[in-house]
Amino acid sequence: MAGANATAGQVAQKVSGAGVFQIHEEKEHLRKELLILLLGVVLAMALWVVAVLNLTGTLSTPLAPGEVTGENPAIDFFVLGAILVLGPFGFAETARIRRIDKIEERLPDFLRDVAEAGRFGMTLPDAIIVASKGRYGLLTDEIKRMASQLEWGVPVATALRLFEERVPTPLVQRVVSIITRSNDAGGNVADVLTMVAHDTREVQNQLAARKISMLTYVTVIYISFFVFLVTIYIMAAVFLPQMVLAGQGIASSSLSSGGAVTLSFTLVPALFVAFLVAVIVHAIGDGIMAGVLFSGKFPEGFQHATIMLIAGWVIMRFVVPPITA
């Protein structure tokens, strides 16, 4: 009897340790995204200090050849810092969110299989163990973990709670809460699982329809941003150089003839810097808005903002011809 109690204690300890390890693993995963964000902020602050030093003339580290210390090198390092803050965290967090979305995508199929197994008279733990033999994409590993816990003797409510902690989304929390309460109340759990599976699928279809409808607006945002860049390129390549030439011609003719006609063209390079700043502001703002419209989450917006910021900065600094007075 004592040996049996010791064995039961060892099993409980193993199960408890497994659950703690899985929760710890998920928390480590969450900390990884936060660590990426903090590292990006630290590196960005260093680049922003370099930007301020270039702006004040204390340091001269231009990225483009032939440039002197001033606004352009300062803006370059500011943009690189913003990319380090938005990019790594945005892509890492978006990848985590999409992984959870793919797990949720197969959740209705798993619930339906558990309900079908329950109709043959199986209890909820047995039905989950039988359904775990199926394939559910990224959800398969989580289901197998839960089935292993049930085989070790973990109560079904505890196994479901651990599953909820590993996949902490509103949809999973809602499903686990309904299943747990239904199992505690007794009755036909299979019918409840069938309704929950149907309801979950409906919610996912609504979210998918929303993303499809919002994709049009995201496309419009990208098109308008690149149209803005093309407009700036045309002005910098054709219109503004002609203004500079006209101003220089009028100034030279006025000096030679002794007239008083003048045309100021020295502010044209400052106008080009204003265009560069406008592109940066539009890239960050439009990118965040595109991500929020598409998925309702800011990390998705950081991802779009990074793409637009890199494209806009490269085009403005290395494709659009520079203008000098």
> Cα–Cα distance between 247 and 231 in angstroms, integer?
22
Cα distances (Å, whole numbers) of residue 137 to 74, 132, 314: 47, 12, 39
Kindly state the average pLDDT of the residues 29-45: 84
> What is the structure's pLDDT at 8?
36
Residue 264 pLDDT > 60:
no
Q: Where is pLDDT greater, at 245 or 208?
A: 208
Q: From its phi and psi, is residue 223 left (phi > 0), alpha (psi between -120 and 50) or beta?
A: alpha
| Residue whose pair of structure tokens reads 């203008």 in the numeric block | 323
Domain ranges for the chain: 106-187, 205-325
Residue 39, judged by CB atoms within 10 A of its CB (0-12, 13-18, 19+), counts as: middle
pTM of the model: 0.76
Q: What is the distance between the alpha carbons of residues 286 and 31, in angstroms, rounded to a whole number?
A: 28
Q: Which two tokens stand for residue 111?
A: 């619930």
Q: What tokens appear for 155 in the block? A: 């109560």
Distance CA 169, CA 108 (A): 15
State pLDDT tens for residues 88-120.
999 998 998 888 888 888 888 888 888 888 887
Confidence of residue 225 (pLDDT cuts 50, 70, 90): very high
- Find tokens 């004040």 and name the residue: 56
Question: Does pLDDT of 211 surpass 50?
Answer: yes
In sequence order, the 6+-apart residues with CB closer than 8 A to the CB of 247 are 263, 264, 265
Least confident of 128-137, 181-190, 232-241, 262-271: 262-271
